[in-house]
Each structure stands twice: as C-alpha cells, then as structure tokens.
Structure 1
Amino acid sequence: MGSYVGTPIFVNGAIYGVLCFGDPTQRSISFNAHEIDIVELMAQGLGQFIARQGLEQERQALAARKDELLAIASHELRTPLTSINAAIKLIGTGKVGELAPKGQQLIEIIANNTDRLIRLINNLLNLERLESRKLTLNKKACSAQTLINQALTLMQPMAQEQNITLQGNTIDPDLTLWADPDQILQVLTNLINNGLKFSPPHTKIQITAEGDQRGILLAVIDQGPGIPPEDCDRIFERFQQVKDHQSSHQGTGLGLAICREIVKQHHGSIWVESTIGQGSRFLIILPRPIAANPILAEMP
C-alpha cells in the first residue's frame, strides 16, 4: 500500500468529496505540515469553485424561469387583457345598452384597473428588454429643445385635466445630445407623469436643458410634496414608491426604474434633489454628440 495525504472538500458546509495526493509505489513517504496546508488550501479553493458553479447554474435556471414568466405575461396575459379592456370601454360608451349610474361607475373602475394592469405588464417587459440588453438603441445627435417640446405636447392633455402648467426651455436653443430620441422621450414623459401624479392643482412642472462640462443636463422640476432624503435613491428601484396619502393616482412603481436603466445605457446619470413641502428636481446628465466627445465613438 502506498502513502497518501487527503482532506475533505466542503461545499456549503457539507462534505462533497475528498482530495488526495500520494504515491501508490511508496510505502513510507512522510508529508510535512506545509505540504498538508497546501492540500487543505487546494481543497478549500476547489470547494469554493464547485459552490460558485452551483450558484451559476441556479442563476441560469432562475433566468430561464424569469424569461418563461415574461413570455407568459406577454402572450397569456397582455393579449386577453387588451381584449377585455376594449370590451369594457365599449360597454362604457352605452352603445350596447344604457347603464344605470352605479353600473357606469363600476365599469369605469374596472376599466381603470385593467389599464393599470396593461401598463404594469408593458413596463415589466420594457424593463426586462432594457436590463437584458435586448433593446437596441439608435443613438444620434438630438435637439434638446425638440425632445422637450415633444414631451410637453404628449403630456399636455393630462396636465390640463389636473390644472397643472407645463413649461419648457433651454438656455441654448441649439443644444444637442447623443442619444436615442425615442428612449429619452420616454424618460422625460415618465418624469413628467411622475410629477403630475403628486403635484397639486395650479402648480407648475418645468423642463430645462443646459450644457456644462459633464455633458447635457436635463431637469424636470415640480412643485409637489417633495421626497424624504432616505427615499431619494430607493425610488429608482423596482416597485418602490413614496407614500403620499394626498395622491389618488396609482402607478406601477416601474417608471423611475425604466428611466434609470435607459439613462444608464446612454452612459449617463440620473438622480433627484428634493425638499419636503417645496418639490423635486429630477436631474439627468447625458453625453454630447460624438463630435464633441470622441471617446463616445468607442461605446455601444
């Protein structure tokens, strides 16, 4: 019988196997303390590697299940919800028969909640596409003034319903940024929509743009109730919202997370500055066009 040295391999606290070294032809090899320490270190490293491999397999399995869930949300939930929503709104018009006031009220409640479910599913799918890099950004030089004007036009009807004034301006009307205009337009409309949810009537929401040494600074400024300092980072996470009992508007809790992911993929930054009782300033830094920033030519 030869000489061997062995030590157990532990994976997550349980013995996974044994690591052995030796020579089957030698009967009297002695192993010193240093050699034994090396074998134990190798066994420890091997156990950690096996554990990481297991975690990676679990992560891949979770990712596959998440993709399956999103496919179900897209095809098995969104399609019937869209049909249900259309039918409910048709009933609400009275074209298929007059409704009693109580019935009309119930139809409006159902329609509003169906709209919210559809928005939630669409936002989840949009965020997943962004985080998995499945969404291709078509970046080009964009006019900041044009993007602001488009965002104001899209959100003006909602603002008028709430008696809130929308205002936009740029310090330099020729200010341009390097971005996918459709995605940045979504960021701006999400931020305006967020301000409309929590701003009282007869207040103002303003969008500004200016250039500085960091790039192009966009700001969406509201006169809402403000955000506590401890929530200013948290609200950019999924399904996180500031509790505001004065607001009757329900959101999905994904709008700001989508904004953050879009800005991140533009190599930009987004944050909020807020004062309780005075309002909030959502700030975005985006790159200038490639001609002004040659290093951007190497970025996707």
Structure 2
Amino acid sequence: MKMIFNYFRLRAKFFLLYLLLLFLLFAVYGLYGLPFGPAQYTALLLSLVCVLFCIADFFSFAKKLRYYAVMQNQLVALPNGVPFSPSPTEEALLAVIRQLSQRAQAAETAHTAQLSATNEYYTLWSHQIKTPLAAMRLLLQEPEPDTDALLQELFKTEQYVEMVLGYQRLKMSTKDLVLQEYPLNTLVHKAVMGVSTLIIHKKLSLDLAELHGIVLTDEKWLIFVLEQLLTNAAKYTARGTISIYQSADAPHLLVVEDTGIGIRPEDLPRVCEQGYTGCNGRLEEHSTGIGLALCKQVMAMLGHSFTITSVLGKGTRVTLDLGRKKLETE
C-alpha cells in the first residue's frame, strides 16, 4: 500500500495534467455547443490508455525500488547490472553511488587492515612489557635489591609506555603536529638526556659533535624518533661508541652511528616493517619490531626521511634527512 501511495505521489503532476486535459476537452465541446458523446468516448479511450500506461509504469517503479533497497542493504558490494533502463538523471545518481561504494569499500579494507595491525601490535606489546615488570618483581624480592638494575628495568618499561603512546598519537596524524623552527643541537641534547640512563648503564662512549643549524619540525615527534634510534644503538652495542654528527657535505643530514652488532644484509630492507625483528632482533629478548616502523611513519609525517646502512659485526649508521621546504608556521 505504501508503494502505491509513493507512486501516486511521484506521478501527481502527471495525473493533474491528465485531469486538466480532460477538463479542456469538455470545456471546448461545451463552448462550441457540441454534443458530449464524442468527448466522452475520447475521454474513455484516453483513460484506458492512461490506466494501462500507469500499470506498466508502476511495475517499473516497483522494480526500481526493489533494486534500490538491495543497494541500500549491500552498499559495499553493489549488485551487478541494472534490471531497468535508467534515465539520464538516474544514470548520474548511479555513477555517484558506485563511486561512494568504491570509497566505502576502500575505507573498510583500510580500517580492517589498520585494526589487524593494531591488534597485532598491542598483543605483542602486552607480552613484551611483562619482561621488565617480571624482572623488577624478582629484583625487589632480593634482600638488597640492585638499584641500578631496577632503574634499567624501569627505563625499559618507560620506553614501552612511550612507544605505545606514540603509536596512539600517530593515529591522530597532523592533528597532533606543531611545526616550528628549533636549533638542531637542542633537540639532539634532549633526546640524548632521555636515553642517558641506558647509555651509562652499558658503559658506552658517546661522541656528540657540535651541531649547527635550524630544523623546521615538531619537537616532540623528532625527539621521539631520535630516542628510538639511540635506544636501538645502545641496545645492540655491547661495547664501543655511539656517534652523533652532521654530514660534512650536507648539514641537513644528521647521522646516528654505533659500533654494535650490525644488521644482516637480508634483514636490512625489512627492518622498518611493523613486527619484523630480523635475526638480531629475535636474539634480543626485548625487541618488538615496532620502533623503526614507527620512526618511518613519523618521519614521513614530518616531511623528513632516513636511511639505514649497516655492516654485520661492525655497526649501523642511520642518516636522517631533516631538510624540507620552508612552511608557514604558527
């Protein structure tokens, strides 16, 4: 019943026009004083044709409604083909609907992939953070707890917390960015202070060159990247030196170099993939396979980039390209 009502509402102008034509027909006959018999016969034939047309048009209308109902229920996976001949207006609307459907399908695919990656990360993170927590519990059970060891486990816990907070903030993308000009030397010193506990504990030498220049970036995010790189350098360096300096040929290139165990050549192309730890990462019980992946995403968000070169058994060099076009900043 509702469908019939909707049909008559849609065709209201047509029925009004038909009634107007019948009125004009009888009005002309009346003005000229003609008998109404032929007019009545003409009106009867026209009404019969109109009824047959309306019946056929109603079934076509009903078929369209059923098709649109299927589209409404299956917006992501549209039914193949159109079971009627669409008008130019309907063709334009169907083209818009198909584009929206493709966008919805792409968004759903991206959301599913992001959700899967997020679940994978949090599952890995929840297992990894148990290690320093368990170590602190064991240390606290000793008659005289090793304060230095406790500080190291606390530092690892803080690193895991900072990493997961960075992972969450990264989803906000540019909403969390504050681009300003900062002295490069200041940013690097803050990052070094953040990981100084680990460097001191491992008794590593730090060769920090005098850094010059201004970098247009987000302070919080760039320090996050530098801390992750320095943490990796200290983690995989048993003895030796961590060096931080600018490239002599290009001052916008900042180099973080260590004399650690290095990265196997077959692992090097994949070290920035989320969840990939490589051979050396699997040997390191605290490796999550997420730090470099986050660094890569953050650097891309900031308009920067970095490259990694390494020689197995001799060390790793990470070169950060901090150059970018000048932007208007607040």
Tell me the TM-score normalized by structure 1.
0.62
- Structure 2: how far apart are the matches of 1:187 and 1:269? 11
Report the CA distance shift for 1:268/1:18 in structure 2 as closer, same or farther (over 3 A): same
The answer to whether residue 188 in structure 2 is matched with residue 188 in structure 1 is no
Q: Which has the higher strand share?
A: 1
Give the Å deviation of 1:63.
8.6
Tell me if structure 2 keeps the 8 A contact 1:156–1:166. no
CA contact (8 A) 1:137 1:180 kept: yes
Return structure 1 stretches of 4+ with deviation > 3 angstroms.
8-17, 44-51, 59-66, 87-94, 114-122, 210-213, 245-249
Aligned match of 1:52: 102
Map 1:249-264 onto structure 2 (within 5 A): 249-264=285-300
Partner in structure 1 of residue 82 of structure 2: 18
Which SS does the other structure have where 1:280 is aligned?
A: strand
Q: What residue is the counterpart of 2:254 in the other structure? A: 218
**8 Å Cα contact 1:220-1:283 kept in structure 2:** yes
Native 8 Å contact 1:145 1:169 kept in 2:
no
Q: CA deviation at 1:221?
A: 0.6
Looking at structure 2, the residues matched to 45 and 140 of structure 1 have their Cα atoms a distance apart, in angstroms, of 44
Q: Where do 5+ consecutive residues of structure 2 fail to align?
A: 1-52, 61-66
Is 1:238 paired with 2:277?
no
1:91, 1:227 → 2: CA distance? 32
SS of the residue aligned with 2:85?
strand
Amino acid corresponding to residue 206 of structure 1 in structure 2: S
1:45 and 1:216 map into 2 onto residues whose CA distance is 48
Q: Which whole-Å CA distance do the structure 2 matches of 1:264 and 1:163 have between them?
A: 33
1:124 positional shift: 3.4
Which structure is richer in relative contact order (CA contacts within 8 A, separation 6 or more)? 1
> What is the aligned partner in structure 2 of residue 296 from structure 1?
327
Counterpart-to-counterpart distance in 2, 1:250 and 1:144: 30
1:151 corresponds to which of 191, 211, 229 = 191
What is the alpha-carbon distance in structure 2 between the residues aligned to residue 152 and residue 47 of structure 1? 54
Give the secondary structure class of the aligned counterpart of 1:233: helix
Instruction: From the superposition, tell whether residues 271 and 54 of structure 1 become closer, same or farther in structure 2 (CA, over 3 Å).
Output: same
- Structure with more helix by fraction: 2
Tell me if the contact between 1:197 and 1:247 (Cα under 8 Å) persists in the aligned partners: no
C-alpha root-mean-square deviation of aligned residues, in Å? 4.9
Q: Name the residue aligned to 1:161.
A: 201
Give the stretch that moved more between structures: 262-271 or 150-159: 150-159
Contact 1:216/1:287 (CA < 8 Å) preserved in 2? Answer: yes
Distance (Å, rounded) in 1 between the aligned partners of 2:191 and 2:260:
19
Q: What does 1:109-124 align with in structure 2 at a 5 Å threshold?
A: 119-120=159-160, 122-124=162-164
Aligned to 2:245: 208
How much has 1:150 moved relative to structure 2? Answer: 2.8
State how far apart, in whole Å, the 2-side matches of 1:151 and 1:118 are: 14
User: 8 Å contact 1:175–1:210 — kept in the other structure?
Assistant: no
Number of aligned residue pairs:
251
Quick one: which of 213, 236, 240 aligns to 1:198?
236
Distance 2:310 2:115 in 1: 38
5+ residue gaps, structure 1: 24-40
Report which of the two structures shows the higher radius of gyration computed on alpha carbons: 2
